């Protein structure tokens, strides 16, 4: 395997020294040149070298994404399904209950906006079996505040440079390019266009401390080039300044909002009592939401677990057994922890063999799952009452590891064992019953040291990476 060259490169001290004073400095020098800039911003974390990814696995993930777009969109409109799937969860988890409360209220009032825009990402790992083969297994589907695409788009250029600068010319030709941002922004642009009010804006709802601001700039540039007006507002600003008119049009600071694009609001900590009201206001409004509240709920871990039950995918793809088969092939074992016999069995199974499973609450953003003895600790505490329904149980994936170096502010340059997660981006726009856009938009590769069980770019564990096809 050609990455062997890279590995020997990395493992020899002489070469390692050469690499540190050559490639790493080349890559970072211009970022660090301006000390004032360094104090205010830092580069996104990334791996110095790309990771070897089987081409077939990446193509498989990409080929599935339009089906996942369809699936989450169908679920988002299926109140009965969501209510049944989340029944136990909303009794045990306040955050999901609050989101569901908004969903129900919007449903009761009658959903007025028939345009929906979804920017999604399904994440996978390659599960290694004992015979050395690997299979693509889904970790989760993200339907809310999906990020990372702007950085992923840029990284192959950096990796190509690094490979060439250490003499790996042939390898550099096998780097896979991705370009998600144009399609992601085109979906937002389409939703804006369908809203049909030239002076209305796209409102990015952003985090207080804007850690991904520079990445977002790429997206903003695309909108700028299309002459689409956009603004950024924090939840508090929406809370203070937004209102609905008699037709439920959303206004803020005198501007009509055509599209609300959430980059924030996926964790309970993102909300206060006032900002929950602001979220409700936006959901009730005529503005197009990216995503709407139903689509956010469709991305919960609980829904993922319910989808793995026999017969459920068939309900959403009644005449497409091949699609069902392709999607199901990527599902790892997923188990309910709702009260009842099935949940009891899952608890017993996890307690007997905690290293084989991951315990997942309904949270996003990384750093929330439980592994190993922590599973035992949590389950022993909640196993006999309804609190356990806040979680789902999942088979633990064992990905292949390789050696790489992560470049992250404050992290010493060390060669470590890492593993990666593949993400496939999707973009869609539905108008009433018609899917106007349904596309796969590109890929993400994020890599973490195997010291960490959980991952996440925002939680400070993972680094951006790019695939080198094998």
Name the site residues for ligand ADP (rule: CB under 6 A): 123, 139-140, 332, 358, 360, 363-366, 368-369, 394, 396-397, 421, 454-456
| Structure tokens that stand for 238 in this block | 């929406």
* Closest CB 350 distance from ligand ADP, rounded Å: 12
Q: Measured between alpha carbons, how far apart are the two ends of the chain, in Å?
A: 8
Residue appearing with tokens 């409109």: 77
CA dist., res. 216 & res. 224, Å (int): 12
Whichever of 96 and 369 has its CB closer to ligand ADP, that residue is 369
Q: Smallest gap, in angstroms, from Cβ of residue 266 to ligand ADP?
A: 8
Q: Which residues contact 206 (CB under 8 A, 6 or more apart)?
A: 213, 216, 232, 233, 234, 263, 264
* Cα–Cα distance, 447 to 453 (Å, whole number): 12
Give min distance, CB of 359 to ligand ADP, in A: 10
Nearer to ligand ADP, 268 or 456 (CB): 456
CB 301, min distance to ligand ADP, A: 7
Between residues 269 and 273, which has the closer beta carbon with respect to ligand ADP? 269
Which residue, 99 or 278, has its beta carbon nearer to ligand ADP? 99
Rounded to whole angstroms, how far apart are CA atoms 245 and 167? 63
Q: Which residue, 237 or 421, has its beta carbon nearer to ligand ADP?
A: 421
One-letter-per-residue 3-state SS of 76-144: HCCHHHHHHHHHHHHHHCHHHHHHHHHHHHHHHHCCCCCEEEEEEEEEEEEEECCCCCEEEEEEEEECC
Longest dimension (CA), the chain: 71
Q: How far is the CB of 453 from ligand ADP (least distance, A)?
A: 6
| Whether 425 contacts 120, CB under 8 Å | yes
Nearer to ligand ADP, 362 or 438 (CB): 362
Burial label, 228 (beta-carbon count in 10 A; 0-12, 13-18, 19+)? buried
């Amino acid at each position: 395997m050609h990455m062997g060259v890279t590995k020997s490169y990395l493992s020899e001290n002489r070469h390692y020294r050469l690499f540190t004073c050559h490639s790493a400095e080349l890559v970072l020098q211009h970022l660090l040149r301006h000390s004032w800039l360094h104090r205010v911003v830092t580069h996104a974390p990334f791996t110095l070298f790309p990771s070897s990814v089987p081409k077939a696995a990446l193509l498989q993930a990409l080929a599935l994404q339009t089906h996942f777009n369809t699936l989450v969109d169908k679920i988002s409109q299926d109140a009965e399904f969501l209510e049944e799937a989340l029944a136990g969860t909303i009794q045990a988890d306040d955050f999901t209950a609050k989101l569901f409360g908004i969903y129900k209220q919007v449903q009761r009032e009658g959903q007025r906006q028939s345009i929906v825009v979804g920017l999604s990402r399904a994440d996978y790992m390659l599960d290694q079996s004992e015979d050395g083969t690997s299979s693509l297994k889904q970790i989760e589907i993200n339907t809310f505040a999906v990020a990372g695409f702007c950085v992923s788009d840029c990284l192959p250029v950096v990796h190509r440079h690094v490979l060439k600068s250490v003499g790996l010319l042939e390898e550099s030709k096998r780097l896979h390019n991705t370009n998600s941002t144009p399609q992601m922004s085109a979906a937002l642009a389409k939703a804006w266009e369908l809203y049909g009010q030239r002076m209305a804006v796209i409102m990015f709802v952003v985090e207080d401390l804007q850690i991904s601001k520079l990445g977002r700039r790429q997206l903003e540039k695309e909108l700028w080039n299309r002459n689409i007006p956009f603004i950024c507002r924090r939840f508090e600003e929406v809370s203070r300044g937004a209102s609905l008119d008699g037709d439920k049009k959303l206004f803020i600071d005198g501007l009509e909002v055509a599209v609300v694009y959430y980059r924030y609001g996926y964790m309970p900590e993102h909300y206060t009592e006032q900002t929950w009201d602001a979220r409700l206001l936006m959901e009730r409004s005529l503005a197009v939401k990216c995503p709407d509240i139903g689509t956010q709920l469709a991305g919960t871990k609980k829904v993922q677990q319910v989808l793995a039950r026999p017969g459920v995918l068939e309900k959403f793809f009644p005449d497409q057994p091949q699609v069902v088969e392709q999607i199901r092939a990527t599902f790892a074992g997923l188990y309910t922890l709702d009260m009842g016999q099935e949940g009891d069995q899952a608890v017993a199974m996890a307690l007997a063999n905690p290293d084989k499973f991951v315990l997942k609450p309904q949270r996003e953003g990384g750093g929330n799952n439980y592994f190993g003895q922590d599973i035992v600790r949590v389950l022993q505490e909640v196993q006999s009452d309804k609190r356990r329904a806040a979680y789902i149980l999942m088979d633990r994936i064992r990905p292949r590891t390789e050696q790489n170096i992560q470049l992250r502010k404050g992290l010493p340059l060390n060669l470590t064992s890492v593993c990666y997660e593949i993400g496939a981006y999707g973009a869609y726009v539905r108008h009433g019953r018609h899917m106007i856009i349904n596309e796969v938009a590109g890929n993400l590769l994020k890599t973490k040291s195997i010291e960490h069980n959980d991952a996440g770019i925002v939680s400070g564990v993972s680094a951006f990476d790019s695939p080198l096809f094998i």
